[in-house]
Amino acid sequence: METLTEPIAPPIDAAAIETPVAQRVMDLEKQHILQTYARYPVVLQRGKGCYLWDVEGKRYLDLLSGIGVNALGHSHPRIVRVIREQAGKLIHCSNLYYHEYQGKLAQKLSAMSGLPRTFFCNSGTEAIEGALKIAKAHGNKVSPEKNEIIALENSFHGRSIGALAITGQAKYRNDFEPLLPNVRFIPRHDIDALVESVTDRTAGIVLELIQGEGGIYPIGEKMTRVARELADRHNAMLLFDEIQCGVGRPGTYFSYQLSEPAVMPDVMVAAKPLGAGLPIGVIMTNERAAASLGAGMHGSTFGGGALATRVAHECCLMLEELMPNIRQAGAYFRTELAAMTHKFPFIKEVRGHGLMIGVDIDFPCKHFVTDALADGLLINVTHDTVVRMLPPYIINEREVDRAIRGLRNVFKRAARNYTKPAGL
Ligand SMILES: *Cc1c(COP(=O)(O)O)cnc(C)c1O
C-alpha cells in the first residue's frame, strides 16, 4: 500500500550535485534578488553565542552582530524560549486591540531612558520617519514657517526619502534628489554653525550622538548641550538618533547618558539591538513632543506586535545584568587595540564607547573585511577607512583575545605593503 503513495523521485539534477551548496545559494540570489547589496561570498547557516557557522561548517567570530542587531549573540536560550512560547500564543493582532506586551515594554524603556512615551515600529528608518513627523507637526502648530530641520554632516539616518533628506552623506542621497526641502547640514563639531543655523523657523535638530556609518565619531557633549539650549530658546524639538549607538551598546542604556547630567532629548529613536534579532523600532518622547501627535496622525500595521515586543522586553530585562560586561569587555577590547597602534603606524585612532568600536586606518581598507573572513572574523569597514566592530554584549575576554589575534594577522599582512606617508 505504502509504495503506491510514495512520491516519484524527482529527476536527478546533475548540476545540483556538482555545485557546492554555497554556490547554489549565491547563484539563485543573483537571478532573483534586487542587486542592492554587495554581499561577501559567505552563506551563514547557524549561530551560537558569539560564533556563526557557514554552510560548509567553517566557524566565524561575530564582531559585527548583524550590524549591531544580535546584541545577545546567537540562539540565546532565554530568547529562543520566549520566541517559542509567544509564537505558540500570539504573534500579531494589530493596533486595533490591546495585548500584554506593548505597555510592559514601554514602561521598561521609559525607566531606561527617562522618556515617558513610546511608539512602536519595525525598523530604524521608520522610527526616524516618525520622529520627523513629530518635529514637522510641532512646527506646523506654531507657524507655517517653522519647518526647518537641522542635521549634521557625516550622519546616517536611514534609507527612506525623509531619512535620506536628513542624512549628511552625499553618496546615499545623490541618486534620489530632490529630497525634502528645508534641511540644513552643519559640520558635526561646528558649534558656531549650529548657533547660526537654529532660528525660530527651526522645527527640529537631529543628532546621531555617536555617528556609526560615518565612522564611529562621538558628538561632543558641548555640541549636544548647545543644541539643547538652542532648541529650548527657539521652541524646536531636539531629536537623538540612537538606532546604532543606543540600547546598552555604549555601556549606558543610551548614549546621551554618557554625560552627567544627561542632556535630555525631546524625541529619541532606537532600533537595532532592541529585539535581539527581531525587527523592532521605537520612538520615545517627552510629554511635550507626544502632544504633537494626536489620534490618527501616525500608525503602523506591524508595529508593536506581541512577539516582537515580548522578545524586546525580555532583551531589556537582560540588559541590566549585561551592562558591566559591555563596559569591561569594551574597555579591554579598546585597550588591546590601542596597544597595537605602536606596532602598526597606519592605525590613526581607536574610538568608541562600550562595545561600539572604530579603528581608524590611514588608507582605504575595505579589503580588511575579506582578509578577516579568511581568519574567521566578521568585521566591517565603514566610511572607507574605519574598521567597525559592534560585538554581541555577551562577548568575553577570551573571545576578545581571539579577535585581537585575528586582527593582528590582518594588520601584519597590511604592514608588509605599507609605507608611512611623509609628515605623519
Ligand atoms: C541603521 C541605522 C538607521 C537605519 O535603520 P534601519 O533599521 O536600517 O532602517 C538609522 N540611523 C542610524 C544611526 C543607523 O545606524
Amino acid at 336: E
d(CA 160, CA 179): 10
Q: Model confidence over 4-15: pLDDT tens digits?
A: 555 566 666 665
Mean pLDDT for the chain overall: 95
| pLDDT of 156 higher than 60 | yes
The CA 203 to ligand 1 mean position distance, Å, reads 22
Q: How confident is the model at residue 1 (pLDDT cuts 50, 70, 90)?
A: very low
pTM over 0.85: yes
- What pLDDT is recorded for position 145? 97
Mutate to test the pocket of ligand 1, among 37, 121, 122, 125 (most ligand atoms within 8 A of CB): 125
> Which residue did the predictor score with more confidence, 4 or 107?
107
Tell me where in the chain the CATH 3.90.1150.10 domain(s) lie.
14-75+322-415
| pLDDT of 2 higher than 50 | no
Mean pLDDT of 55-61: 97
d(CA 134, CA 71): 29
| pLDDT of 73 higher than 80 | yes
Tell me where in the chain the CATH 3.40.640.10 domain(s) lie.
77-319
d(CA 197, CA 94): 41
Q: Model confidence over 16-52: pLDDT tens digits?
A: 567 799 999 999 999 999 999 999 999 999 999 999 9
The CA 361 to ligand 1 mean position distance, Å, reads 24
Q: How confident is the model at residue 104 (pLDDT cuts 50, 70, 90)?
A: very high
Mean pLDDT of 79-88: 98
> Which residue did the predictor score with more confidence, 17 or 114?
114
Mean pLDDT of 387-414: 98
Nearest atom, ligand 1, residue 125 CA:
9
> Which residue did the predictor score with more confidence, 13 or 129?
129
| pLDDT of 256 higher than 60 | yes
Residues near ligand 1 (Cβ within 6 A): 123-125, 128, 156-158, 208, 212-213, 241, 243-244, 271
Q: Which three cell numbers mark 304?
A: 508593536
| pLDDT of 82 higher than 80 | yes
Mean pLDDT of 174-196: 97
- What pLDDT is recorded for position 169? 97
Q: Is 343 exposed, middle or buried (0-12, 13-18, 19+ CB in 10 A)?
A: exposed
Fold of 14-75+322-415: Aspartate Aminotransferase, domain 1 (3.90.1150)
- What pLDDT is recorded for position 417? 84
Mean pLDDT of 355-382: 97
- What pLDDT is recorded for position 11? 61
Q: Tell me which residue has its CA closest to atom 8 in ligand 1.
A: 124
The CA 419 to ligand 1 mean position distance, Å, reads 36
Buried b (16+ CB within 10 A) or exposed e, 216-251: bbbbeeebbebbbebbeebebbbbbbbbbbbbbbbb
| pLDDT of 421 higher than 80 | no
- What pLDDT is recorded for position 86? 98
- What pLDDT is recorded for position 249? 98
- What pLDDT is recorded for position 14? 63
- What pLDDT is recorded for position 194? 98
- What pLDDT is recorded for position 341? 95
The CA 124 to ligand 1 mean position distance, Å, reads 4
Mean pLDDT of 80-106: 98
The CA 237 to ligand 1 mean position distance, Å, reads 20
The CA 243 to ligand 1 mean position distance, Å, reads 6
Query: What is the CATH architecture assignment of 77-319?
Result: 3-Layer(aba) Sandwich (3.40)
Q: Tell me which residue has its CA closest to atom 5 in ligand 1.
A: 124
